Structure 1
Amino acid sequence: MMIDPHAYNITVRRGDFEGELCFEARVKELPDLAEYGDTFEEAYQLAIDAIETTAEIFAEKGKAMPMPKDVPDEYSGRVTLRLPISLHRALAEAAENEGVSLNQHLVNTLAYFSGFAAAVTRTRGSSYKWEMVRTTPKRKIASTCSPIRLVHSSKLDPDGGWQKTA
């Protein structure tokens, strides 16, 4: 069976690896495979070659080559959760104390703890567009009350600025 190495999910990133600045290529379907090159293109091509070589070795040994995985291009943004009643109550009360909906409180909390910050940018005219911006939390937040709590909440004022509410 012939494989298409370009169908595999290859990630190339630049970084400092063992004291050397170079590009690392990894293949999602083959987690132990890593190739390094001086350029993006070189690392990518080495990963393609490694996929082909791995397929040949697997075929010689009678092993099945992992198939390329389909990565969903779209997400609905909708998640359904089942929570213990006590956690649901605690989250709803925290949202009420912050003056936001339970949904917004959950989004704020998840965004904060996953390292994302929500940003609102004004588009042409007076409409607003939500964007998720990847950030790295700078410090740990210690809470003596609840294991999950909204640390900061802001509301957009009519002029497009931020009003701090917490």
Structure 2
Amino acid sequence: MSIDPHAYNISIRRDNFDGEVLFEARVKELPDLVEYGESYQEAYDLVVDSIETAAAAFAEKGRTFPAATVPTDDFSGRVTLRLPRSLHRVLAETAESEGVSLNQHLVNVLSYFSGFAAGNQGEDLSSWRTVSSVQKTKKTTRPSHLRLVRSDELESLKASWG
């Protein structure tokens, strides 16, 4: 039996493991299979090789190897969510102040945080952080050359600009 190891659902994340930054590759269909590499590509190559090796070992022993799952489009876009009344109130009030429906506000919040997580791949994503826990730092790459000019100084400064 020939399998395509690339058809399996492989997820790779970068994280700090025992003080060393590595890429961890996991296979959804084979939860016990984990590989680590110093680069994304190395972790991917190792896990693909491990899938092939595991399939060969299963075949030698006459065991059935788990098939790759095929993604389905069984998602209606509808979710029922239970949450504390206080959170419901805060979300509804925020949505009202933004001038959008509660549903649209929840979609915006979830979309933002999904993108936020994806955009912070280089950071430690092993734990969730609230927006308020993120340190706000002013990022400037060069000094500003802007100057506040009062209107009564404008005419005298125009001559020096020309």
* Unmatched 5+ stretches in structure 2: 118-128, 134-162
> Identity, % of aligned pairs?
49
Q: Is the 8 A contact 2:9 2:68 kept in 1?
A: yes
Structure 2 residue aligned with 1:4: 4
Once superposed, which parts of structure 1, at least 4 consecutive aligned residues long, lie more than 4 Å away? 72-76
Q: Is the 8 A contact 1:91 1:102 kept in 2?
A: no
Q: Offset of 1:34 from its aligned partner?
A: 0.9
Structure 2 residue aligned with 1:137: 130
Q: Offset of 1:23 from its aligned partner?
A: 1.9
Structure 1 residue aligned with 2:44: 44
SS of alignment partner, residue 49 of structure 2: helix
Pairing of 1:54-73 with structure 2 (within 5 A): 54-72=54-72
Q: Is the 8 A contact 2:95 2:102 kept in 1?
A: no
Q: Is the 8 A contact 1:22 1:37 kept in 2?
A: yes
TM-score when normalising by structure 2: 0.54
1:58-81 Cα offsets, whole Å, 9 max, x none, are 2223322111112347966x2054
Q: Is the 8 A contact 1:29 1:67 kept in 2?
A: yes
Q: Is the 8 A contact 2:15 2:22 kept in 1?
A: yes
Larger strand share, 1 or 2: 1
What amino acid is aligned across from residue 50 of structure 2 in structure 1?
A: A
Q: Is the 8 A contact 1:12 1:40 kept in 2?
A: yes
Structure 2 residue aligned with 1:29: 29
How far apart, in 1, do the equivalents of 2:115 and 2:34 lie? Answer: 28
Q: Offset of 1:139 from its aligned partner?
A: 5.7
* Relative contact order higher in (CA < 8 Å, ≥ 6 apart): 2
Pairing of 1:15-164 with structure 2 (within 5 A): 15-72=15-72, 78-79=77-78, 81=80, 95=92, 99=96, 100-104=100-104, 106-107=106-107, 111=110, 117=112, 133-134=115-116, 136-138=129-131
Q: Offset of 1:44 from its aligned partner?
A: 1.2
Larger helix share, 1 or 2: 2
TM-score when normalising by structure 1: 0.53
